[in-house]
Amino acid sequence: MITRFKIDNFKSLVDFELPPAPHELNGFTCLIGLNGAGKSTLLQAFDFIAQVAAGSVQSWLDHREWKKSELVSHLGKKTPVINFTVGLKTSTGSKIEWIARFNTTQLRCTAEMIIVGNETVLTLDDGRLKVARAGSTEYHEFEKVPFEYQGSVLSTLKLPDARPEIAEVKAALQGLRSLELLSPQLMRKKARAANDIGASGEKLSPFLDQLSFEKQTALLVTLRQFYPQLRLWTVKGYRAGWKSLRIFEHYAKQSAVDAGHINDGFLRVIAILSQQYTEHQVLLLDEIENGINPALIEKLMDFLVGLGEHGKQVIVTTHSPVILNFIEDHVAENSVILLYKTTDGRTQACRYFDQPETGYKLKAMGPGEVFVDTDLTKIVERLAAESAATITHAGSGK
């Protein structure tokens, strides 16, 4: 689980920290804010560090049709370097930090450090690599990294006797899945074998097809809670291994609906529900309410919060008070994060219900009702003014 995230010089994320200290992220996090506050940018930043750990930054840029120069902030730093720190907690409760400096020109980390507790188990600095051995006080030491790599040295490093926490960091970050690019149009298309639905859901059909019978049956049961008229879903096979989704519904006459005619909401719901059967431990979802009937939102939120309570970590963004109203008060207090822009364009974060305008209201109203009853613009204006005053005060040396 990711417990905290710091990143500097990624788009509008300059000296950004989530959540604000001394708090830590929990199994479920809901990001809110005005349009342009940086919610989607933050999900992109999480996806970016996953690609750094996997060594697939260039293909990720290509998929998004971005230039590498577009990763860095244009808020005055004028450096090609992105710095970040990821705090992790393992299933055994161990706390790990991965600290890195990524050069966007070279598309790789030029400095890295992994710290377990108070012990540094991996260091990359000025081309030198030092890796702790398991069950020993000794280290593998290299004057120069002995392999070519993109992203992090973790993407290519293979030392069987290295400290196991190093592999845990890599697995944790590669287990992050961003679904912010989900596209019903692509989900309708035929696709061939895959063990994942793909960045935009384009591999949904073959992914569903390779699930075990037990998982397919369980998914059908869950889907019927959302769509009682659903009788069956199947994956139709074509020549050369192509697959497409088909559903059968109960009406006056049983009807089959091929992928090209399945509605957007159903495709988004089945794509999200299917994530319980993946190895991804961190799920990112942008504007969770998009394309989904409001009548289904409560069930979807119960599902996502439940995932966050049972092993997976879920981070969503929303503009809808309806979403917040389906979050229990005690969960909302810790999980709803407000993103806002400072007067100079930097994205910052605070816990929404820690604010004086909202905290006391939560005692008498639901989270969504508080959201509707509170002028978000005024909160943002106050926070931006306070941030500007802090910077001015620090710059004056007082």
What CATH code would you report for 2-175+281-396?
3.40.50
Give, for all 398 residues of the chain, the pLDDT tens digit: 999 999 999 999 999 999 988 999 999 999 999 999 999 999 999 999 999 999 999 999 998 999 999 999 988 778 999 999 999 998 778 899 999 999 999 999 999 999 998 899 999 998 999 999 998 889 999 999 999 999 999 999 999 999 999 999 999 998 898 888 888 899 999 998 888 898 889 999 999 999 999 999 999 999 999 999 999 999 999 988 899 999 998 765 657 788 778 889 999 999 999 999 998 899 999 988 888 888 889 899 999 999 888 889 999 999 888 889 888 898 899 999 999 999 999 999 999 999 999 989 998 999 999 999 999 999 999 999 988 776 555 455 55
pTM over 0.85: yes
> In the 8-state DSSP scheme, what is residue 197?
-
Give the span between the Cα atoms of 51 and 176, in whole angstroms: 9
Do 199 and 282 contact (CB within 8 A), yes or no?
no
The domain spans of the chain are 2-175+281-396, 184-271
Report in angstroms the alpha-carbon separations of 289 from 31, 180, 298, 300, 387: 13, 12, 10, 9, 31
| 297 Cβ contact list (under 8 Å, min separation 6) | 289, 320, 322, 323, 326
